[in-house]
Structure 1
């Protein structure tokens, strides 16, 4: 596998999964003045982990690059989620909708996808892509840095793809997600493997399995599943502590290929 350039550290965004972005992407995350005044100052670290910064919406074309299917195998990720027709699914940090539109197909005809991003420009691009593909069951939500503004007790699955490590307000966001879940609702946390030095992503933009579990456990969640067959990423499934779903032990990622 050829090595991709590593991500730019200072120009990333809450908006979606990120690898590297071109050098023209300068500037920080854009918030309205009202939003900036309302939000408490963001953290620079959480539970021993430095928090990454966010990507500007001008990097949106990178999120739908042709090589991404090969690099991340999104079809396998989507199959692991167990999404069913009729469900309400949230793509949190949706960007321009790489996963949103695929999720929308999985929940049709009666289901819906709540696409959340804090950059209205990302949501506008997503809306254009959904309209061009005649996808009717996507609802866009302009979230805040400390609140995704999801309806309470309404969501079956919240998908976080390479975005959680950039939350500037992790406890506040996890509390809001917690409140949005149905009793058996789940969070699918997807992050690049910090355990694997061969993943061509800067360490600031990776997380270990143990760190993921530590942060979610500190905010009222339990591990209920995992999927480790993607090329570069962990998938960890969490539910509320009071969920009827059973807790499972973490199985540490093993870099060795399975025996033939």
Structure 2
């Protein structure tokens, strides 16, 4: 009997060793595996327009690189998308601080900035080449209240509770880490701050955009609810896109 405790310890050690070996070979089997495995799913078979990573049942689209900058600045964009209606519809105040997330060339940032002379626009992008374009255009247009911000794929790098309005135009569906980015945006919003999402309408088959670059209202509401944002309204004023408004609770 006096040797039984040692045997029990030996058996316990073997069990722990087996558990560790299993975890090292496949972390998703372990109860202490990272929660990211539950948030995102990776699939070998996927759309050629996506990255094979799924969030809330949606495959994430590939990012449009800086080589497509000229498409953002195309002369026919106003006729096709009517972005001036976006600027007029978001109820800006002169001292607002706006974060243009996925700003690209700053197409929208430079249209918002003159309307908030006592505020500023954080032009946020993950591509340094896009921010170089914004810096050049800022100087050329002499619009001082546009501030370029280099983000990462998982963090918008915005100050806490500093933003009245965060806007994303045809950008959210490309976020590699949508949950983490939106958590960062929510943290950056002031209480009662708003998020405006503009996305091509997935509900309409006549919107001739690749499927992964469109989103439905139902999907957007589900993903914004996951970070605690409240849906306030959808404005159907654009030819092909939803304009959806969400709000951070006051408390």
Taking structure 2 as the reference length, the TM-score comes to: 0.79
Measure the CA separation in 1 of the matches of 2:87 and 2:167: 10
- The reply on whether 1:180 has 2:222 as its aligned counterpart is no
Whether the 8 Å CA contact 1:190–1:235 is kept in 2: the answer is: yes
Name which one, 1 or 2, has greater alpha-carbon Rg. Answer: 2
- The reply on whether 1:112 has 2:117 as its aligned counterpart is no
CA RMSD of aligned residues (A): 1.4
Describe the shift of the 1:231–1:192 C-alpha distance in structure 2 as closer, same or farther (beyond 3 A): same
Whether the 8 Å CA contact 1:158–1:188 is kept in 2: the answer is: yes
Measure the CA separation in 2 of the matches of 1:76 and 1:117: 23
Alignment of 1:77-116 (within 5 A): 77-108=86-117, 110-116=118-124
The equivalent residue for 1:141 is 149
| Residue deviations 1:75-107 (CA, integer Å, cap 9, x gap) | 111111001111100100000111010011111
Gapped runs of 5+ residues in structure 1?
1-7, 11-41, 245-260
**Residue 222 of structure 1, aligned match among 223, 230, 238:** 230
SS in 2 for 1:44: strand
| Residue deviations 1:167-187 (CA, integer Å, cap 9, x gap) | 111110111011000112100
Q: Deviating runs (4+, > 2 A) in structure 1?
A: none
Instruction: Compute the displacement of 1:9 (Å).
Output: 3.1
Measure the CA separation in 2 of the matches of 1:43 and 1:78: 34
Measure the CA separation in 2 of the matches of 1:152 and 1:43: 32
SS in 1 for 2:61: coil
Instruction: Compute the displacement of 1:243 (Å).
Output: 2.7
**Residue 208 of structure 2, aligned match among 200, 203, 216:** 200
Gapped runs of 5+ residues in structure 2?
1-47
Taking structure 1 as the reference length, the TM-score comes to: 0.76
The equivalent residue for 1:243 is 250
The equivalent residue for 1:231 is 239
The equivalent residue for 2:198 is 190
More helix per residue: 2
The equivalent residue for 2:61 is 52
Greater relative contact order (Cα 8 A, min sep 6): structure 1 or 2? 1
Measure the CA separation in 2 of the matches of 1:87 and 1:101: 14
The equivalent residue for 1:71 is 80
| Residue deviations 1:9-30 (CA, integer Å, cap 9, x gap) | 37xxxxxxxxxxxxxxxxxxxx
SS in 2 for 1:204: helix
| Residue deviations 1:145-196 (CA, integer Å, cap 9, x gap) | 0000001001000010011001111110111011000112100011000011
The equivalent residue for 1:33 is none
Instruction: Compute the displacement of 1:219 (Å).
Output: 1.5
The equivalent residue for 1:9 is 49
Measure the CA separation in 2 of the matches of 1:164 and 1:67: 23
Whether the 8 Å CA contact 1:145–1:168 is kept in 2: the answer is: yes
